[in-house]
Structure 1
Amino acid sequence: MPRPLWNGSLSFGLLNIPMSLMPAERNVDLHFRMLDSRNNAPIRYERVNAETGEEVPWKDVARAFEYKKGSYVVLEPEDIQAARSESKEMVEIEAFVDAAALGPEYFEKPYVLVPSKKAEKGYVLLREILARTNRVGIARVVIRSREYLCAVVPREKTLYLLLLRYPQEMVDVSEYNIPDAAPSHYRISEKEMDMAEQLIEAMTAAWKASDYKDEYRVRLKKAIEKRMKSKGVVTPVEREEEPAEEAATNVVDFMSLLQKSLSENRRTPAKSATKSAAKETSTKSAAKSAAKKAARGKAGGATRKTATKRAGHRRR
């Protein structure tokens, strides 16, 4: 089951209904990766400085608005934070409008409103009264720090929250050459109108969503399966990542570090932990080296004593 985007409430007037906002769509697109055709290695996309050609780490990335070509104004994090709405867990209906007044061009994305426990009464009350009056509720909702205009719409036993486009996002249709005169102006006869109506009546059927499938996706999936069966599968060789310049190459027991971090209820900095382990390993290595030198010294002394005794015997 999908996780809720947020748990909050929906309100109109003094009525407050605890709810969860759940996804109403599922992404079924087939996603592709870009490979280098020379060796089938995945292609990475990097944040590169346009002047130096160097990769830019996330900590150095700033947001800016290009107010004219090549001219930017940089925004600080507090500027963006100040623009965000504070009502993150509330859908407050501001008005109820006739359902027919909301054109299809305004609808953008659907979500499902799910009542919390013991909130069923308010949920059913709002759903039924919207359906009876043929109204939809116009509200605002904050999803992932951005505020959207939305409509609360009843559909059978469910309340949907549909994100709406703002008027400034819409193209003024007067910019296009839309035929707006009477049908007679385009020489459309009554007989043609009657025949078109008869054709529509003959093709009219009950809406059944399950009758319609994404045929392109089905054909593409078959092509992928066919290619896999014909040994078209590519398994790139896993390459070991080179250690960072400052990172120690000694093996560190991360499991013990994690257990220690959990027991102390705090995170252990990986860099300092690695340095500590490296220092400990270095100390042990130095001790072993000293021991080996001492052993070689003793062995050398014993060898020299033996050689001296043999020389004495030969002189005698």
Structure 2
Amino acid sequence: MAPRALWKGMLRIAEVTCPVALHAAASTSERIAFHTLNRETGHRVRREFIDSETGDPVARDDQVKGYQTAGEDHVILDPEEIAAAVPESDKTLNVTQFIPCGEVDDVYFDRPYYLAPANPGAEDSFHLLREGMRRRRAAALARAVLFRRVRTVLIRAHGLGMIASTLSFDYEVRPAREAFRDIPDLRIKGEMLDLAEHIIDTKRGEFDISAFEDRYEAALAELVKARLEGREPPARPLPERENVVDLMAALRESAGVSGKRSPRRKTARGRR
């Protein structure tokens, strides 16, 4: 049985519609979670909102949202006013255009969902849309109200179904130039570049996400298990720290050509 859908609605492309369902493609529910306890009693601690000036507890009915303006002033909004600003949902993923797969910069990707037919009667139209997109190597851009917000969604064929990825808005993504402003524009060439390419070639492989372990979660699981068994957890080894001074020497050592002539790039005829 398929997992419970997070959202159900219609995928609309012009006059063609198809009932679809969104399922979570990624989840943090399997992570180890902790409660905050009172060390002396072992009881769980309850969160309470306190007035920052008087120190008195504030009841839930007296709590309102406020947008801070200049200084300490706030524009106060009641819950009803905020709820009224939430857009009405017509439960439709309305496709506005198709673009080539891979045209959207990964920096705009927010959260992935699996998109599947909502019922057996939708399978024919779903398969038709999916295979048409696959053959044209196209992705669909759609708009919809998802989880109380208007979202832009990128839809792509994926196996027997589709992937629907919500996209961040332009104002939410910071320009790369802000982070890269102080990086000098250097030109690397010659032996250093040959060595770097050689290291990359010797480390080539295929992506297999199962080969990557969440070391933090594994360490937490081992810590909890050790406490349950009444033993001390194994000591964590300290990482080795080295100061690399000579970049060329480090490249040669990484490439395994220390003391040897560095590998050279070859042309199609086998010569430089």
Question: In which range does the TM-score fall when normalised by the shorter chain?
Answer: 0.7 to 0.9
Deviation at residue 122 of structure 1 after TM alignment: 1.8
Please state if 1:26 is matched with 2:27.
yes
Number of residue pairs the alignment of both structures matches: 228
Inter-partner Cα distance in structure 1 for 2:74 and 2:216: 42
Q: Contact 1:88–1:145 at 8 Å: present in 2 too?
A: no
Q: Which has the higher contact order (CA 8 A, sep 6+)?
A: 2
Q: What amino acid is aligned across from residue 130 of structure 2 in structure 1? A: R
Please state if 1:151 is matched with 2:138.
no
Structure 1 or 2: more helix by fraction: 1
C-alpha distance 124-169 of structure 1, shift in aligned 2 (>3 A) = same
Q: Contact 1:88–1:143 at 8 Å: present in 2 too?
A: no
Q: Contact 1:5–1:143 at 8 Å: present in 2 too?
A: no
Inter-partner Cα distance in structure 2 for 1:178 and 1:122: 52
Residue equivalent to 1:49: 51
Q: What amino acid is aligned across from residue 83 of structure 2 in structure 1? A: Q
TM-score normalized by the length of structure 2? 0.75
Inter-partner Cα distance in structure 1 for 2:40 and 2:108: 46
Residue equivalent to 1:172: 175
Percent identical: 25
Equivalences for 1:83-232 in 2 at 5 Å?
83-116=85-118, 117-176=120-179, 177=181, 179=183, 181=185, 185-186=186-187, 188-230=188-230
Inter-partner Cα distance in structure 1 for 2:110 and 2:146: 14
Q: Secondary structure at the match of 1:42?
A: coil
Q: RMSD over aligned Cα, in angstroms? A: 2.2
TM-score normalized by the length of structure 1? 0.66
> Which moves more between the two structures, 168-177 or 193-202?
193-202
Deviation at residue 11 of structure 1 after TM alignment: 0.9
Where do 5+ consecutive residues of structure 2 fail to align? 233-272
C-alpha distance 155-18 of structure 1, shift in aligned 2 (>3 A) = same
Deviation at residue 173 of structure 1 after TM alignment: 1.8
Inter-partner Cα distance in structure 1 for 2:125 and 2:183: 47
Deviation at residue 136 of structure 1 after TM alignment: 1.5
1:73-108 deviation line (CA, Å, top 9, x unaligned)? 122344323422223411111121222221111111
Q: What amino acid is aligned across from residue 218 of structure 1 in structure 2? A: A
1:185-237 deviation line (CA, Å, top 9, x unaligned)? 43x114433333333232222222222221221121011101111089xxxxx
Q: Secondary structure at the match of 2:131?
A: helix
Where do 5+ consecutive residues of structure 1 fail to align? 233-316
Residue equivalent to 2:248: none
Q: What amino acid is aligned across from residue 25 of structure 2 in structure 1? A: A
Please state if 1:16 is matched with 2:24.
no
Inter-partner Cα distance in structure 1 for 2:136 and 2:78: 47
Q: Secondary structure at the match of 2:133?
A: helix
Inter-partner Cα distance in structure 1 for 2:147 and 2:49: 24
Structure of greater Rg: 1
Residue equivalent to 2:62: 60
Q: Contact 1:25–1:110 at 8 Å: present in 2 too?
A: yes
Q: What amino acid is aligned across from residue 167 of structure 2 in structure 1? A: L
